[in-house]
């Protein structure tokens, strides 16, 4: 397989995966970006907007709009970070956790079932994708 064929097949699979998650969002009547932000926030850790933007490669304005909406609904709290002028930590509230779980339970369940069908060798794909991502970023700069 040459580079062109590799990236063609890789692109197709990435978009198929994206479509699967978009269907979960549509079924839950939420935007896919909201689903991904809740997915990120529901990992038990405290985050920042900057971190979510960088980790998920999402636009700052999109993340900010969703974060402000989640805050207004009481699903998250924002706390200033000492010594940081504008950055705040984002923590999911109990009602936010319930909301996220209501949207993500089926996703988590399906992921868990799919994961059981992977081998240890299959799981190494994460390392390969990270390497590929870093190479493409480096070469594109």
Closest by CA to 36, choosing from 5, 63, 6, 73, is 63
- Find residue 77's DSSP bridge partners: 91
Cβ(78)–Cβ(90) under 8 Å? yes
- Name the one residue in this structure whose structure tokens are 């198929």: 16
Q: What is the pTM for the complete model shown?
A: 0.88
| Element of type H or E holding 77 | strand 76-80
Please give the structure tokens belonging to residue 84. Answer: 């940081």
Write down all domains in the chain, each with its CATH number in brackets.
33-140 (1.10.10.10)
Q: What is the pLDDT of residues 6-32, one digit of tens each?
A: 999 999 999 999 999 999 999 999 999
Contact 35, 103 (CB under 8 A): yes
Q: What is the pLDDT of residues 79-131, one digit of tens each?
A: 998 887 788 999 999 999 999 999 999 999 999 999 999 999 999 999 999 99
48-67 pLDDT per residue, tens: 999 999 999 999 999 999 99
Mutual orientation of helices 94-115 and 3-27 as an angle, nearest 10°? 130
């Amino acid at each position: 397989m040459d580079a062109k064929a590799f990236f063609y097949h890789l692109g197709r699979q990435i978009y198929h995966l994206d479509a699967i998650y978009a269907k979960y969002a549509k079924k839950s009547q939420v935007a896919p970006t909201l689903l991904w932000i809740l997915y990120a926030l529901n990992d038990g850790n405290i985050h920042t907007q900057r971190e979510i933007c960088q980790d998920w490669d999402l636009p700052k304005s999109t993340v900010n709009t969703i974060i402000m909406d989640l805050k207004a609904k009481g699903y998250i709290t924002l706390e200033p970070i000492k010594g940081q002028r504008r950055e705040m930590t984002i923590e999911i509230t109990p009602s936010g956790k319930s909301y996220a779980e209501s949207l993500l339970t089926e996703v988590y369940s399906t992921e868990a079932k799919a994961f059981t069908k992977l081998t240890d060798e299959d799981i190494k794909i994460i390392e390969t994708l990270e390497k590929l991502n870093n190479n493409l970023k480096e070469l594109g700069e």
